[in-house]
Amino acid sequence: MKLRIKYLLFVIILHLVTLVLSFFIFRNDKLIFIASEVLILISALISWQLYYELIQPLKMLMNGADAIEDKDFNVKFVSTGRYEMDKLISVYNRMIDELRTERTKQEQQHFFLEKLIYTSPIGILILDYEENIQQVNPRALDLLNMEGHLIIRKSIYEIAHPVMEQIQQLRTGEAKTIIYNGVATYKLQKSHFIDRGFSRQFIMIEELTAEILAAEKKAYGKVIRMMAHEVNNTIGAVNSILQSTQAAGGFLEEQKNALLHNALKVAIDRNQNLNIFMRNFADLVRLPEPNKKNIDLHKIIHAVAHLMEMRAGNKGIQFEFYLADGSFNITADEQQMEQVLINIVKNGMEAIEDSGTVSFATNLYTRQLTITDTGKGISASFAEQLFSPFFSTKKDGQGIGLTLVKEVLINHGFEFSLKTISAGRTEFIIQF
């Protein structure tokens, strides 16, 4: 029962009882009875006036509570001229002003935070209380190469993705660095924040590829320049001495000195090979800026296949073409792109032990080139090191082929990946 109903019932019952008692007590004296009835009537009027004055603040409080419950902070009350009522109205209006100001401030902060997350160069995944992905920014989708509807409202443990598999192993407060697709370097960090008194988690994915590559190139560039300088200086002097000895004349013409003559020739040839070997490394450091022009990728593919055709035939390897109709125009340095394709095809052919195939497929819609070989594939232990300088799975490999490919493609701004899809199927994908 509401308070006002209780008050009215109390007043009505009290005055009825008083009226009945006055009738039995003063019924013999009419003047006193009439006077008592007038007093009871005056008391009832005063009670009603008090009820009105008391119930009005309650109604006002109820209206204010309803407005606060509806989050309507624009409802304010005007002064009535009564001290108690005006004091209550003043407190309420001041509270509403502060709530409205605080709500505006919260909305501005929330809008700023949403904008910051949306435009952040770091990928951000925000989880709900059950570790389902509640929000994801565009950068995270770009780094994961996934559509938003495929991961929103899904648990991080349900999403099949190499990066997500690494995230699943992270505990709150931990961070780790991973290499994705043998090229991209990501820093993963898992942290938490408090939302309405409960802890929620979020994950940051930061791409370190550019920084790592710059530091890496600076380090191996310095080493190569130092090595090339020392080797060239040494080879130049040694070859000069050897060639002078060869040209010295008479004693080399004697039969007994033929062995020495051959030895000098072998030494000079080996020095020349060493010089070429070092020049290959130096070319990696001195790679020029790409001279970009509009070129037809299909023509380059056919040119490379024709160039490698004889070597492929010797190993029983066939080239297969699944090229889109017409031209596939890209903006790139023709010579550098040709060298990239030569290195990719050469690696694919070397991975094939006996006979097999190397196929070329293009897709105009996705702007993608896929080169597939049927070789032995890439083991998991080597996958993350494929594009590292000087790393090679071949016994006599120099480890600069894929490094050169990486440098050229990054300088062009083309995305790429190299991975074994299944047994006997390894794909090198370039996204133009």
Tokens of 223: 């080493």
CATH value at residue 138: 3.30.450.20
Q: What is the pLDDT of residue 79?
A: 73
Domain match, 348 and 402 both: yes
Q: Quote the strand ranges of 59-136, DSSP E.
A: 123-127, 133-136
pLDDT band at 302, cuts 50/70/90? very high
Structure confidence at residue 430 as a pLDDT band (50, 70, 90): very high
Q: How many domains does the chain have?
A: 4
The answer to whether residue 111 is domain-embedded is: no
| Residue that finishes a domain, picked among 240, 269, 285 | 285
Last residue of a domain, one of 51, 74, 105: 105
User: So what's the pLDDT on residue 295?
Assistant: 93
Q: What does the pLDDT look like over 196-223, one tens digit per residue?
A: 777 888 999 888 766 666 666 666 666 6
For residue 398, the domain's CATH number is 3.30.565.10
Note whether 166 and 261 are same-domain residues: no
Q: What's the pLDDT at 28?
A: 72
The verdict on residue 115 lying in a domain is no
DSSP one-letter code for 326: S
Q: What is the mean pLDDT of residues 295-322?
A: 91
* Residue 157, pLDDT score: 87
Q: Tell me if 243 is assigned to some domain.
A: yes
Indicate if 278 and 300 belong to the same structural domain. Answer: no
The answer on 317 and 426 residing in a single domain is: yes
User: CB–CB of 164/156 below 8 Å?
Assistant: yes
| 166 and 248 inside one domain | no
97 and 66 inside one domain: yes
Question: Is residue 175 one of the residues assigned to a domain?
Answer: yes
Question: For residues 311 and 244, which has the higher predicted lDDT (pLDDT)?
Answer: 311
Confirm whether 112 is domain-assigned.
no
Specify whether 329 is located in the same domain as 241.
no
Report the share of the chain in percent with pLDDT over 70: 72
Asked if 372 and 426 touch (Cβ cutoff 8 Å), the reply is yes
Query: Which residue pairs from 337-342 have beta carbons closer than 8 angstroms and sit at least 24 positions apart in sequence?
Result: 337/295, 337/297, 337/300, 337/408, 337/412, 338/300, 338/303, 338/304, 339/404, 339/408, 340/404, 340/405, 340/408, 340/409, 341/300, 341/301, 341/304, 341/371, 342/304, 342/307, 342/308
Pair (368, 392) in one structural domain: yes
Residue 301 burial class via C-beta count within 10 angstroms: exposed 0-12, middle 13-18, buried 19 and up: buried
What range defines the domain where residue 170 resides? 120-207
Task: Write down which residue in 169, 185, 207 finishes a domain.
Answer: 207
Residues 300 and 423 in one domain: yes
In Å, how far from its chain's centre is CA 342?
32
- Residue 69 or residue 142, greater confidence: 142
Domain co-membership, 315 together with 415: yes
- For residue range 83-110, what is the model confidence (pLDDT) as tens digits? 777 777 788 788 888 888 888 888 888 7
The answer to whether 214 and 191 have CB atoms below 8 angstroms apart is: no
What's the predicted TM-score (pTM) here?
0.50
How many C-beta atoms lie closer than 10 Å to residue 67's C-beta? 17
Say yes or no: 262 and 311 in one domain.
no
In a domain, 274, yes or no: yes
What was the pLDDT predicted at 209?
65
Q: Residue 266: helix, strand or coil by DSSP?
A: helix
More confident residue, 191 or 420: 191
Q: Is residue 113 part of a domain?
A: no
* 188 touches 204 (CB < 8 A): yes
Length of the chain: 432
Co-location of 7 and 82 in the same domain: yes
Instruction: Render pLDDT for 310-328 as a digit per residue (tens, 0 to 9).
Output: 888 888 999 999 999 999 9
Burial of 219 (0-12, 13-18, 19+ CB in 10 A): exposed
User: Looking at the domain assignment, is residue 340 inside a domain?
Assistant: yes
pLDDT per residue over 103-135, tens digit each? 888 888 878 888 888 888 888 998 888 888 988
What is the pLDDT, as a whole number, of residue 221? Answer: 64
